[in-house]
């Protein structure tokens, strides 16, 4: 289950990823002591940018920590809302490390408590590898040159592309539509050689009828038209 924490104050979004089922039996579980009185087992998720424990753990603390209003909304991957009661800062201790105040979002859920990589408890060792843009561009260039060398015959001489074929499922409907358009004098059937041919595409509409589309690039070249400017409204008003 993927959860996203949206922020209504135009801040950066906080992404939360909670895996409800996995085939891997090994899980990253750490035990944290909250406010020096409650030991809670957390799942560590490197893709999580926030710490989320269920509200039941805060009800066990005495005194109960102050929960402030949270402007963020917790939204699951499928669009469902997860109620957020608020957020608070509590003291956490991991093994023998020093106590550290951590921000938690308090939610109404029965899921396992989650702690993310944003915490400063030294739970996760972050390793970053940055490749320079120049090396990436050079790698892409080399891969392109290798492809050209391997398929050299494709990039030389004249190629040949098969004409677009009409699917057999619509051939009968296409003939009916062409006959109808010829009958209505929309077009005229030609059985002799011509200087140009239009490519055609038959698109089936939602209600089953066909829409015929042509590419007029070829027909536009041999069309002969008078080169006379189209009169404007001012041309008629001026003499009046």
User: Which domains occur in the chain, in start order?
Assistant: 2-116 (2.40.70.10), 163-240 (no CATH)
What percent of the chain is modeled with pLDDT above 70?
73
Q: How far apart are CA 178 and CA 185, in angstroms?
A: 11
pLDDT band of 94, cuts 50, 70, 90: confident
Tell me how far CA of residue 202 lies from CA of 140, 152, 171, 184, in angstroms: 39, 35, 9, 19
User: For 181-197, what is the mean pLDDT?
Assistant: 88
Q: Using one digit for the tens of pLDDT, what is the confidence trace for 73-92? A: 766 656 667 778 888 888 88
Do 26 and 43 meet the contact criterion of CB atoms below 8 Å apart? no
Q: What angle do CA 68, 69, 73 make, to 5 degrees?
A: 135
In sequence order, the β-bridge partners of residue 210 are 204
Q: Can you tell me which residue has the tokens 């007029």?
A: 216
Do 106 and 87 meet the contact criterion of CB atoms below 8 Å apart? yes
Q: How far apart are CA 200 and CA 92, in angstroms?
A: 70
Whether the per-residue pLDDT at 161 is higher than 80: the answer is no
Do 182 and 189 meet the contact criterion of CB atoms below 8 Å apart? yes
Tokens representing 174 are 């296409």
Q: How far apart are CA 57 and CA 48, in angstroms?
A: 20
Which of 56 and 118 is assigned the larger pLDDT?
A: 56
Which of 189 and 77 is assigned the larger pLDDT?
A: 189
Query: Which residues, including other chains, have CB under 8 Å from residue 120's CB and lie 6 or more apart?
Result: 100, 102
Can you give the pLDDT at residue 141? Answer: 80
Whether the per-residue pLDDT at 5 is higher than 60: the answer is no
User: For 168-177, what is the mean pLDDT?
Assistant: 88
pLDDT band of 7, cuts 50, 70, 90: very low
User: For 113-134, what is the mean pLDDT?
Assistant: 62
Number of C-alpha atoms within 13 angstroms, CB side, residue 227? Answer: 0
Can you give the pLDDT at residue 12? Answer: 43
Q: Are strands 114-116 and 84-94 parallel, antiparallel or unpaired?
A: unpaired
Nearest to 90 by CA among 74, 106, 114, 107: 106
Can you give the pLDDT at residue 183? Answer: 93
Question: Mean pLDDT score of the chain, rounded to an integer?
Answer: 76
Can you give the pLDDT at residue 184? Answer: 93
What percent of the chain is modeled with pLDDT above 90?
5
Q: Edge to edge, what strands does the sheet with 81-82 contain?
A: 14-17, 2-7, 72-76, 81-82
Can you give the pLDDT at residue 179? Answer: 93
Which of 29 and 134 is assigned the larger pLDDT?
A: 29
Whether the per-residue pLDDT at 10 is higher than 70: the answer is no
């Amino acid at each position: 289950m993927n959860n996203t924490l949206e922020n209504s104050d135009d801040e950066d979004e906080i992404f939360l990823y909670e895996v409800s089922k996995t085939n891997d039996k090994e899980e990253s579980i750490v035990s944290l002591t909250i406010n020096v009185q409650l030991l809670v087992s957390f799942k560590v998720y490197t893709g999580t940018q926030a710490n989320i424990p269920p509200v039941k753990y805060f009800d066990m603390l005495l005194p109960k920590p102050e929960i402030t209003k949270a402007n963020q909304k917790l939204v699951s991957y499928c669009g469902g809302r997860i109620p957020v009661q608020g957020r608070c800062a509590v003291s956490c201790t991991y093994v023998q490390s020093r106590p550290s105040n951590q921000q938690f979002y308090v939610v109404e859920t029965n899921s396992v408590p989650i702690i993310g990589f944003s915490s400063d408890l030294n739970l996760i060792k972050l390793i970053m590898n940055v490749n320079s843009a120049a090396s990436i561009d050079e790698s892409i260039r080399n891969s392109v040159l290798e492809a050209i060398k391997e398929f050299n015959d494709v990039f030389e001489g004249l190629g040949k592309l098969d004409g677009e074929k009409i699917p057999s499922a619509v051939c009968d409907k296409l003939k009916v539509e062409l006959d109808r358009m010829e009958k209505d004098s929309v077009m005229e059937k030609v059985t002799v050689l011509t200087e140009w041919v239009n490519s055609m595409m038959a698109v089936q509409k939602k209600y089953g009828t066909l829409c015929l589309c042509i590419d007029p690039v070829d027909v536009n070249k041999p069309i002969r038209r008078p080169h006379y400017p189209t009169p404007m409204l001012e041309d008629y008003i001026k003499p009046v």
